[in-house]
Amino acid sequence: MSVVLVDYGAGNLRSAAKALEVAGARDLVISSDPEKVAAAARIVLPGDGAFPDCRRGLAAVDGLSEALEEAVHTRGAAFFGICIGMQLLATRGVEHEGADGLDWIPGEVVRITPSDAALKVPHMGWNNLERDRDHPLLKDVPLGPDGLHAFFLHAYHFVPADPQDVLAHADYGGRVTAMVARGNVAGTQFHPEKSQRLGLTLIANFLRWTP
């Protein structure tokens, strides 16, 4: 069962690939080939930078968006988005000129507005996570004040239309969405590949996940 890490010119592929391999991926393929994506059992979509740039990068690879739709919605492949790769699940992002997302989880990606003016944006650094609901991806991941920490680097976050789509959040002068999931689609705002034990446990759970 292949795991495809999607190469569309956005995201730290080397770090993500290394984390996937350490977590147990034995059949990892890094590819932008629509045929490989369409046939994959599991898909990981990374993303760094700005929402509109990543959306354009995805659309620029001929047939890739259609391959993702076929794999995820027609065949039910497990999907995991990282950072902007997670934000692209939204209906729309308002960063810069704004752009439409994949609309797989209805909602918007909006700028973080901490209640404390001393908190800088972008939000960069380590935060613990608060669980909003149980999910197989969170199995054996200690959360809460005494739990593990995740590494964030972002100025915008995803606010789903349905709060039930949020798995976990961080507190950064208010709620900041950390994880989302709906059906066979999930993602994290933080970088699991940089989040040490928390990230590796989460990735290992994804590799075992059968939505």
**Given the residues 54, 95, 154, 193, the one annotated as active site:** 193
> Reduced to 3 states, what is the DSSP secondary structure of residue 125?
strand
**Given the residues 135, 154, 157, 191, the one annotated as active site:** 191
**Given the residues 83, 95, 123, 169, the one annotated as active site:** 83
Q: What single string gives the DSSP state of each residue in 143-206?
A: -STTS-EEEEEESEEEEESSGGGEEEEEESSSEEEEEEEETTEEEESS-GGGSHHHHHHHHHHH
User: Is 191 part of the annotated catalytic residue set?
Assistant: yes
- Tell me whether residue 79 is exposed, middle or buried, using C-beta atoms within 10 angstroms of its C-beta: 0 to 12, 13 to 18, 19 or more: buried
User: Is 193 part of the annotated catalytic residue set?
Assistant: yes
Q: With left for phi above 0 and alpha for psi between -120 and 50, is residue 58 left, alpha or beta?
A: alpha
Measured distance CA(3)–CA(208) in Å, rounded: 11
Catalytic residues: 83, 191, 193
